[in-house]
Amino acid sequence: MNQKPVVLEKQNLHPRNLHRSRYDFKALIGSNPQLGPFVAVNQYRNESIDFANPAAVKALNKAILKHFYKINDWDIPAGYLCPPIPGRADYIHYLADLLAGDTAKLPKGANIVGLDIGVGANCVYPIIGHQSYGWRFVGSDIDKKAIASAQRIVDLNTTLKPFIECRLQQDTSHIFKGIVESSDRFDFTMCNPPFHASLAEATAGTKRKLTNLGLNKKAQKVDLNFGGQQSELWCVGGEKTFISKMIEQSVEMGGQCLWFTSLVSKSATLPVLYQVLKRVKAVEVKTIEMSQGQKQSRFIAWTFLSAEQQQAWKRAVGPSRK
């Protein structure tokens, strides 16, 4: 039997990420006993779960959210995206760094407000953002069932309810219009866009993910068992078209948001996005590199506010920082 080197800490995750250490399955099972039956010793003599089994992944997420984020009631409907928590947490922590800027003082408290575009049925970004930093969130989605699920999670967890609002986007041609109200001011927007351009591309991506996990046989027959509806996984034109549209539509609310951001899965997408950002006259653009396991990722951030306006924004918001 092979013995794989034990990695005590995942150095590629953000330094503040709570998930840099290996999963402590004993502690996680203590938080969610439903995880127990899914844990077994793998070929490397380490405890793990079958990451190709959606029930196992959901049980792990429930345990993580309860153990690390004090979320006692979390669930998603069958067939919806069950996201890997460590990678989602990284986005949140790098956003905190973006907001801190050169001050190195972390922005905390309910004065910091974010818009999660495509909050999904899982509501994971607002959960991590609020429980880690005390931020408030608006979560939007075009899927009624997803919004209902996210709202249920918020309603069932009293620590979340005053701080997270879920809004349904009824017009799929718009990203901000119909969601952002005239009185809204967002310190940031965030988005995990549908990366793929077709169902076939999404399926191929899932096969690659399974292969990377060493589940080659299961990759031969795959039904997108990592979960996800069409709107979560793919759209016509893929991430290039979706994020370009987001950039173009962000112009209209450029004065209502400090930083617009979006994950970008493929580095080849970036040159097109830079061109769009130049065309719409974004004042400042940043690309923040991230890495989770074997996957390289990043998010792009842009603002229409000058350096002086950014400083005035921060003074007006008056977030607690430490």
Q: Look up residue 308 and give its two tokens.
A: 């002086």
Considering the domain boundaries, does residue 281 fall inside one?
A: yes
- CA–CA dist 60, 50 (Å, integer): 10
Domain count, the chain: 1
Q: Does a structural domain hold residue 35? A: no
Residue 294's pLDDT band (cuts 50, 70, 90): low
The position carrying tokens 């940043």 is: 286
Q: Which structural domain, as residue segments, surrounds residue 129?
A: 77-321
**Cβ-based burial of 8 (10 A; exposed 0-12, middle 13-18, buried ≥19):** exposed
Q: What is the mean pLDDT of the chain?
A: 87
User: What phi, psi does 204 have (nearest 5°)?
Assistant: -60, -35
* Residue 193 within a domain: yes
State the CATH number of the domain containing residue 228.
3.40.50.150
User: Do the domain assignments include residue 250?
Assistant: yes
pTM value is: 0.86
Q: How confident is the model at residue 110 (pLDDT cuts 50, 70, 90)?
A: very high
Q: Which tokens belong to 77? A: 């409907």
Cα→Cα distances 145→80, 152, 172, 223, 270, Å:
10, 10, 15, 21, 32
Choose between 102 and 250: higher pLDDT. 250
Output the DSSP codes for 270-296.
HHHHHHHHHHTT-SEEEEEEEEETTEE
Residue with tokens 């922590």: 93
Which amino acid would we find at residue 67? H
By C-alpha distance, which of 162, 165, 111, 157 is closest to 141? 165
Is residue 304 domain-resident? yes
pLDDT at residue 320 tops 60 = no
| The two structure tokens encoding residue 307 | 């350096």
Q: Quick one: pLDDT at residue 25?
A: 97
Structure-token pair, residue 185: 């001011």
Distance CA 183, CA 139 (A): 16
In this prediction, residue 281 carries a pLDDT of 98
Share of the chain above pLDDT 90, in %: 74
Where do the H-state alpha helices sit in 70-226? 85-100, 124-133, 144-156, 199-212, 216-220
The answer to the question of residue 110 being in a domain is yes
Residue 6 has pLDDT above 80, yes or no: no
Q: What is the pLDDT of residues 57-100, one digit of tens each?
A: 999 999 999 999 999 999 999 989 899 999 999 999 999 999 99
Is 318 buried (19+), middle (13-18) or exposed (0-12) by CB count in 10 A?
A: exposed
* pLDDT tier for residue 292 given thresholds of 50, 70 and 90: low
pLDDT single digits (tens) 111-133: 999 999 999 999 999 999 999 99
Domain assignment present for residue 58? The answer is no
pLDDT in tens, 40-68: 998 888 999 999 899 999 999 999 999 99
